[in-house]
Amino acid sequence: MSGKGKVLALLVVIAAGVAGALLLRGGEAPPSAPGAGGAALASVKVPARLSETERAGAALFAANCATCHGGNAAGRGGQGPPLVHKIYEPSHHADGAFFLAATRGVRQHHWTFGDMAPVPEVSEADVAAIVAYVRALQRENGIF
């Protein structure tokens, strides 16, 4: 492939990625981190019934994640994004993304809250329960 062809191919890949990201977000601009204050960033309906694993995940989430991601994963102004948001739907952020974020941390990429540090206090089993809880919240709020 010629130099021009490689550049064109790269531009097509970049354009497709941007278009795909906008489609996943419904055409919205990238979200930003609302100001300090710690207020919830989303309104979250909690399911009337949670499985035993989801209840364990709720307790683990409250102990390890809510400081930044807010109660019931509603986000927290100036701290961290809501996980009950279409950006985190399973087709865009599979369960493995949550495991990687908890164990390795994650660089800022959708929001402007900054990088997320790893959370070494949580085990893989803990993360599995937390993910089950977050997915239950997402389903209750129409995020599939």
The encoded tokens of residue 108 equal: 């800022």
Q: Which residues sit opposite 106 in a β-bridge?
A: 116
Residues 64 and 10 in one domain: no
Q: What is the mean pLDDT of the chain?
A: 83
Residues 40 and 63 in one domain: yes
Residues 69 and 98 in one domain: yes
Residues 39 and 21 in one domain: no
Q: What sign does the dihedral 114-64-97-80 (CA atoms) show?
A: negative
Residues 79 and 121 in one domain: yes
Q: Specify the pLDDT at position 21.
A: 39
Quickly state the pLDDT bin for 16 (edges 50, 70, 90): very low
- Closest C-alpha among 100, 96, 131, 134 to residue 118: 100
Spatial distance between the Cα atoms of 122 and 57, rounded to a whole number of angstroms = 11
Residue 26 has pLDDT above 90, yes or no: no
Residues 15 and 53 in one domain: no
Spatial distance between the Cα atoms of 73 and 41, rounded to a whole number of angstroms = 9
Residues 75 and 38 in one domain: yes
Residues 18 and 72 in one domain: no
Quickly state the pLDDT bin for 34 (edges 50, 70, 90): low
Global pTM value: 0.76
Residues 15 and 43 in one domain: no
* pLDDT tens, residue by residue, 104-143: 999 999 999 999 999 999 999 999 999 999 999 999 999 9
Please, which residues have CB within 8 angstroms of residue 25's CB and are 6 or more apart in sequence?
Answer: 86, 87
Q: Specify the pLDDT at position 126.
A: 98
Number of domains in the chain: 2
Residue span of the structural domain in which 9 resides: 1-30
With residue 27 as reference, give the H or E element that holds it: none
CATH number at residue 97: 1.10.760.10
